[in-house]
Chain A
Amino acid sequence: MNIMLKLENVTKIYPGAEHIKAVDELSFDLPEGEICTVVGPSGCGKTTAMKMINRLIPLTSGKIYIDGQNVNRLDTIELRRNIGYVIQNIGLFPNMTIAENIAVVPKMKGWDKNRITERAERLLELINLPPEEFMDRYPRELSGGQQQRIGVARAMATDPPIMLMDEPFGAIDPINRDHLQNEFLRIQDKVKKTIVFVTHDIDEAIKMGDKICLLKAGKLVQFAAPETMLTEPANDFVSDFLGGDRTLKRLNLLKLKAAMRPDPPVIMEEESPEKAKAMLTELKVDNLIVVDAEKRLLGYVNHEALEKEADEVRKVTRPTDSFMPASSSLKDGLSEIFTHDLGYLIVVDDDKKVLGVLNTEDIREILRR
Chain B
Amino acid sequence: MEARAFSPVLKKLIPVLLTIIIVAGLYKFYGAWAYTTKNLAEFFRLTWEHLVLVIISMAAAVTVGVGLGTLMTRKGFDHLSPAIMGVVNVWQSVPSLGVIALAYGFLPLLGLSGIGVVPALIALFFHAVAPIVRNTYAGIQAVSKDVIEAATGMGMNPKQILFRIELPNALPVIMGGVRTSTAIIVGTAPLAFLIGGGGLGFWIFTGIALMDMGIMVAGAVPVALIAMLADSALARTEKTVVSKGIQAEEYQVAM
Known: A90-B146, A91-B150, A95-B245. A108 touches B169 (CB 8 A): no
- Specify which chain A residues have a CB less than 8 angstroms from the CB of B148 in the assembled complex: 91
Q: Does A354 contact B (CB under 8 A)?
A: no
Within the complex, the shortest CB–CB distance from A198 to chain B, in Å, comes to 13
Q: Are A77 and B245 interface neighbours, CB within 8 A?
A: no
Q: Are B154 and A85 interface neighbours, CB within 8 A?
A: yes
- Specify which chain A residues have a CB less than 8 angstroms from the CB of B157 in the assembled complex: 77
Q: Are B153 and A54 interface neighbours, CB within 8 A?
A: yes
> Closest residue to B144 on the A side, CB-wise?
A91
Q: Are B169 and A94 interface neighbours, CB within 8 A?
A: yes
- Specify which chain B residues have a CB less than 8 angstroms from the CB of A77 in the assembled complex: 155-157
- Specify which chain B residues have a CB less than 8 angstroms from the CB of A90 in the assembled complex: 146, 150
Q: Are B154 and A104 interface neighbours, CB within 8 A?
A: yes
Q: Does A139 contact B (CB under 8 A)?
A: yes
A96 in complex: contacting residue of B153, B154, B156, B245, CB < 8 Å:
B245
Number of interface residues of A (CB under 8 A): 31
Q: Are B154 and A95 interface neighbours, CB within 8 A?
A: no
Q: Are B245 and A97 interface neighbours, CB within 8 A?
A: yes
Q: Does A225 contact B (CB under 8 A)?
A: no
A-B contact count (CB 8 A): 79
- Specify which chain A residues have a CB less than 8 angstroms from the CB of B153 in the assembled complex: 54, 56, 80, 83, 85, 87, 164
B156 in complex: contacting residue of A108, A140, A151, CB < 8 Å:
A108
B118-150 vs A: 1/0 string, CB under 8 Å? 000000000000000000000000001011111
- Specify which chain A residues have a CB less than 8 angstroms from the CB of B171 in the assembled complex: 95
A100-119 vs B: 1/0 string, CB under 8 Å? 00001100100000000000
- Specify which chain B residues have a CB less than 8 angstroms from the CB of A88 in the assembled complex: 146
- Specify which chain A residues have a CB less than 8 angstroms from the CB of B244 in the assembled complex: 138
Within the complex, the shortest CB–CB distance from B248 to chain A, in Å, comes to 12
The A148-163 residues at the B interface (CB cut-off 8 A) are 151, 154-155
Q: Does A125 contact B (CB under 8 A)?
A: no
Q: Are B147 and A80 interface neighbours, CB within 8 A?
A: no
Q: Are A94 and B155 interface neighbours, CB within 8 A?
A: no
A95 in complex: contacting residue of B146, B152, B243, CB < 8 Å:
B243
Q: Are B155 and A139 interface neighbours, CB within 8 A?
A: no
Q: Are B150 and A81 interface neighbours, CB within 8 A?
A: no
- Specify which chain A residues have a CB less than 8 angstroms from the CB of B245 in the assembled complex: 94-97, 138-140
Q: Does A92 contact B (CB under 8 A)?
A: yes
Q: Does B151 contact A (CB under 8 A)?
A: yes
- Specify which chain B residues have a CB less than 8 angstroms from the CB of A95 in the assembled complex: 165, 168-169, 171, 243, 245-246
Most buried by A among B150, B156, B168: B150
Q: Are B152 and A108 interface neighbours, CB within 8 A?
A: no
Q: How large is the interface on B (under 10, 10 to 19, 20 to 34, 35 or more residues)?
A: 20 to 34
Most buried by B among A78, A80, A81, A140: A80
Q: Are A92 and B150 interface neighbours, CB within 8 A?
A: yes
Bound Cα distance from A97 to B144, whole angstroms: 17
The A130-144 residues at the B interface (CB cut-off 8 A) are 138-140
Q: Does A28 contact B (CB under 8 A)?
A: no
Q: Does A93 contact B (CB under 8 A)?
A: yes
Q: Are B165 and A93 interface neighbours, CB within 8 A?
A: yes
Within the complex, the shortest CB–CB distance from B142 to chain A, in Å, comes to 12
The A212-230 residues at the B interface (CB cut-off 8 A) are none
Q: Are B154 and A94 interface neighbours, CB within 8 A?
A: no
Within the complex, the shortest CB–CB distance from B212 to chain A, in Å, comes to 52
Q: Are A96 and B150 interface neighbours, CB within 8 A?
A: no
Q: Does A89 contact B (CB under 8 A)?
A: yes
Known: A94-B245, A95-B165, A140-B245. A105 touches B154 (CB 8 A): yes
- Specify which chain A residues have a CB less than 8 angstroms from the CB of B160 in the assembled complex: 108
- Specify which chain B residues have a CB less than 8 angstroms from the CB of A108 in the assembled complex: 155-156, 160
- Specify which chain B residues have a CB less than 8 angstroms from the CB of A151 in the assembled complex: 150
A91 in complex: contacting residue of B149, B155, B164, B246, CB < 8 Å:
B149
Q: Are B243 and A96 interface neighbours, CB within 8 A?
A: yes
- Specify which chain B residues have a CB less than 8 angstroms from the CB of A104 in the assembled complex: 151, 154, 156, 164
List the 6 closest A-B pairs by CB distance, nearest first.
A91-B150, A138-B245, A80-B155, A81-B155, A85-B153, A95-B243
List 30 contacting pairs A-B, 8 Å CB cutoff, sorted by A: A56-B153, A77-B155, A80-B154, A83-B153, A85-B153, A87-B146, A87-B149, A87-B150, A88-B146, A90-B150, A91-B147, A91-B148, A92-B147, A92-B150, A93-B164, A94-B147, A94-B243, A95-B165, A95-B168, A95-B169, A95-B245, A95-B246, A96-B243, A104-B154, A104-B156, A104-B164, A138-B243, A138-B244, A139-B245, A154-B154
